[in-house]
Amino acid sequence: MKQLVRAFAAVLVVALALQFLTVRLNKTEGYAGGNTLTIYNWGDYIDPALIKKFEKQTGIKVIYQTFDSNEAMMTKISQGGTTFDVAVPSEYMIEKMKKEHLLIPLDHSKLPNLKYIDPRFLNLSFDPGNKYSVPYFWGTVGIVYNSSMLGGKKITSWNDLWDKDLKNEILLVDGAREVIGMGLNSLHYSLNDTNEKHLEQAKAKLDRLMPNVKAIVGDEIKMLLANEEASIGVVWSGDAAEIMSENKKLNYVVPSEGSNLWFDNMVIPKTAKNVDGALRFINFMLDPENAAQNAEYVGYSTPNKAALKLLPKSIAGDKRFYPDVAMTKKLEVYKNLGKKNLARYNELFLEFKMHTK
C-alpha cells in the first residue's frame, strides 16, 4: 500500500510539473488571454515604440510574433495549437480564412477610429463591409528603374519592358500572380482573368519578353537593384521605397495599363482569447497619430486618410506611393481564383521560367 501511495504521489508531482510547464510554454508560444495580447505580424512591420505606447495606455502586455508568408501564418492559425489575438494577412488570404471559418467578425462599435480610413479602401471584394478586416498598409506592384543606366529613358508602362534595347536588363519578382498578371495587364486584361485564351496570349507575350529578363529572383531583387546589377525590376511598392532609399538614382512607377492593389489587414483569428484587447489594439492603430508614426517608421503607404495630413509632404504627396483616384481606379486586388485556376497560373509561370532566351 505504501508503494502505491508513493507511486501515486510521484505521478501527481509529475502531472503538476507538466501543467506548470504547459502554462509557461503557452505564454511564450502565443496563448493569450487575461491581461496579455498576442499579435502575429510580418517582421519589422510595426514601430516598436507603438507597442510600448499601447502597453502603457492599456496595461495590456503585448506578445509579438512574426511570420514570413501568408501561407505559414494561415497554417499555424488553422492548426489551432497556438492562440493569436490579432493577425495581419494579405487580402487574398482573408478570403481563404473566411472560407475556413478562421476569423471572428469585428464589432465596429468598438472601432470608432475606423472612420479615418479612406473610403476607397473599404468595402472591397475580399471583405464586403469590412466584416472581418481593417486595412493596415496598402501598396501596388510596379516598376523600379534606373534612368541613368538607360540613357535617360523613362518607363511609364508594362509595354515599355518589351523594348528590344532592354536586353538582359530586367529583374522579375518570383511570383506567378505578379508575372502572369503583368502579362495580362499589358494586354489590357484583368489580372484576375481566367479565360484560357487570354492566359495563353499573356504567356506567349511573356515568352517574347524573356530576352530582356536577366533573372527571376526573390528578396535579393532589392540588393541587386540598389547595387545597379540591373536597370529595371518589377517589385512591390514597399520594396521599391526601401530600394530607392539606398540608391537615389532609382525611380518607381505604377504602369499606365493598371496593376495590383494589395492590402495587409488586421483581423481577429477564431482562436483569440482576448477579443476585447484585440479590438482595443486595432482601434489604437487606427488613431491618425499612431497610423502616421507607423507609416513613417515602416515606409509603406497608410490607408488612414487623416494620418496623411500628419505625414511630411515629401511622403504624403508622393504620387508614386500614394497614387490619385484616377490611377487607383485602374488597380485591382487579387481575387481568390480557386485551386484549379491558381494551379493553371503556376503552370504557366513555370513554363515561362523554363522558356529559353
DSSP of 274-292 = -HHHHHHHHHHHHSHHHHH
Alpha-carbon span 203 to 184, nearest angstrom:
9
Q: Where are the alpha helices (DSSP H) in 90-170?
A: 91-99
Alpha-carbon span 177 to 65, nearest angstrom:
27
Q: What is the Rg, in whole angstroms, of the alpha carbon atoms belonging to the chain?
A: 24
Annotated binding site: 92
Contacts of 220 (CB under 8 A, 6+ apart): none
Nearest CA-CA partner of 187 in 218, 166, 208, 213: 208
Q: Are strands 259-266 and 134-146 parallel, antiparallel or unpaired?
A: antiparallel
CA angle 148, 149, 153 (to 5 degrees): 65
Nearest CA-CA partner of 213 in 251, 162, 256, 259: 162
| 264, containing H or E segment | strand 259-266
Annotated binding site for spermidine: 92
3-state secondary structure of 251: strand
C-alpha grid cell, residue 210: 524573356
